[in-house]
Amino acid sequence: MNYPKIKLIFFATVILCITWLTGFSRVAIDSRDSSFKTEDISRIMKRVADWQINAWNTKGFSHRKADWTNGACYTGIFAYGNMKGNEKYLKTLVNIGNDVGWNTGHIRFYADDYCVGQTYAQLYSKYKEKKMIAPFRLLADSIVAAPHDEPLNWKNNIHKREWAWCDALFMAPPSLAYLSTATGDQKYLDMASKLWWKTTDFLYDPSEKLYFRDESYFDKKEKNGAKVFWSRGNGWVLGGLVRVLENMPKNHPDRAKFIKLYKDMVGRIAGLQQPDGSWHASLLDPASFPIKEMSGTGFFCYAMAWGLNQGLLDEKTYLPVVKKSWVALTSAVHEDGKLGYVQAIGASPDKVDANSTEVYGVGAFLLSGVEIYKYLKTHPKTR
């Protein structure tokens, strides 16, 4: 028996274990101390927001200014800009709106193409300039008037007319819901609710409490035999869900249904969190892409932090989940403010690395940070 070799392997294993445990302790300390202080949250949000805006200013936009990718980013920029002292970020959004004439995308009933409507509506609510919502309101009236009687089967370009894929639940319903708040006209919110449940009846798996991306994934399996549930896809759903709820009066007849769905999904998602605080690209087969992914993680963090702020979630159960997810999110921020580990545009779980970034990841990061900041301001003992 080769005893020196056995000793070498033993000591190498011990060193690796110590390194891993030290790293784990450091993460735990960060989540309890520096990373979870309002001043640190504000500082890192500024770095991330500034990096993104600087990238737009120096390199130009990688996608159309009214594209869903940027539309998702604008939601976070607005939330951050709406904090005291940050109005210059809102001015950036106003300039973008002026550049595109406050128009949505070119495919009228395609949910992705009117994701920007939610930010237009929020800006209108703040500045009261009718031009900010005039084109989108005309489109929204057309959406309300449409029959929406097609089945959601994934064929014949159904996605250009109906909300036939789960991502649409972040893009479209919040846009109608924020418009409802901005105008005081409930018909937009009522249509958002009606079509939300049409999509949910088709894509939601009540046994798993998760959404399929679209019909084409009903029978697909991961390498481990589990159903395919995409992290960002379900992040889109939860992010959209809380943004609809944010605009839904407490006496709305569908509010209780939304809250039940929210709590069911959040409970399921929390149980799928990885030890480092993130969620991998594949929810039920995290080993298939064994690395943190920040767009899904960001939207999950945002949705749970929002629920804590609204008193919908138990602090003892969910605050630790939010803390761990924030540590994961901040660990993906480069020194210059670039947010890494964001899965590229797609429709299913896929690979990611430290340099992978996209604008919607920034949106999710900022939405999360703002909600956590609000929570710590009203719950100072948790800092």
CA distance 49 to 298: 14
Q: Tell whether the torsion through CA atoms of 358, 361, 367 and 371 is positive or negative.
A: negative
Give the residue from 277, 291, 276, 284 showing the smallest Cα distance to 209. 284
Confirm if 228 and 217 have CB atoms less than 8 A apart. Answer: yes
Query: Among the options 67, 167, 214, 285, which is catalytic?
Result: 167
How many residues appear in the chain? Answer: 383
The sign of the dihedral angle between the CA atoms of 210, 354, 317, 373 is negative
For 343, counting Cβ atoms within 10 Å of its Cβ (0-12 exposed, 13-18 middle, 19+ buried), the class is buried
Beta-bridged to residue 333, according to DSSP, are: 339
Residue 122's nearest CA partner among 172, 154, 68, 82 is 82
- Is residue 167 flagged as an active site residue? yes
Beta bridge partners of 221: 227
Which positions are catalytic?
Answer: 167
